[in-house]
Amino acid sequence: MELASLILSIIALLGSLATYIVHDRKIKKQEAKINEYQLARFKEEEEDSKKAQICGNIIKYDKGKRVLKVYNKGKSPAKNIRIEGIDENKFYIHGMDLLPYELLNPQDGFEMNIVLYTGSPKTLKLSFFWDDAVQDNNEFTQVLSLI
């Protein structure tokens, strides 16, 4: 009887040990995945902190008068900002002499006045180009409504 009880105890102990080892391996795999995910997130956040993001917005004033507000919604300064897509035969843009804009800090912007001609298009497709701490010649294309 003692031998049977000893064998049952050993079997129970081995079963518990096997369960512990399997469970421990699963937990370690999960921890490795979590650590990998967190490291990727930290790296992405660090890279984002070095990026600028240039975009525009149209502000409507009197009939035929608009303002193009160009701003940096990124977390890093943008340098050498350029804009393509402005057809000066379709609008008069006051402020083109600002380009290329030398430096635009995060959350800052500058404005350019637009005077629409008869027959001017209803939208303006612009491509913004800039340099930041991550790379040169970043590009963002945007379509803005003029009406």
pLDDT, residue 63, reads 84
Using the predicted structure, report yes or no on whether residue 108 has a pLDDT greater than 90.
yes
Note the pTM of the prediction, 2 decimals: 0.74
Helix, strand, coil tally for the chain in percent (to 5): 35, 35, 30
Confidence class for position 38, pLDDT limits 50, 70, 90: very high
**Is 69 exposed, middle or buried, given 0-12, 13-18 or 19+ CB atoms closer than 10 A?**
middle
Q: What is the mean pLDDT of residues 86-98?
A: 83
Using the predicted structure, report yes or no on whether residue 140 has a pLDDT greater than 80.
yes
pLDDT, residue 82, reads 96
User: CA angle, 73 as apex, 68 and 79 as ends, to 5°?
Assistant: 80
Residue 70 C-beta-side C-alpha neighbours within 13 Å: 29
Q: How many residues does the chain have?
A: 147
Residue 63, token pair as written in the block: 């009939």
Using the predicted structure, report yes or no on whether residue 57 has a pLDDT greater than 90.
yes
pLDDT higher at 62 or 137: 137
Confidence class for position 31, pLDDT limits 50, 70, 90: very high
Bridge partners of residue 82, in order along the sequence = 129
What percentage of the chain reaches a pLDDT higher than 90? 58
Pick the CATH number of 54-145 from 3.60.10.10, 2.40.110.10, 3.50.50.60, 2.60.40.10: 2.60.40.10
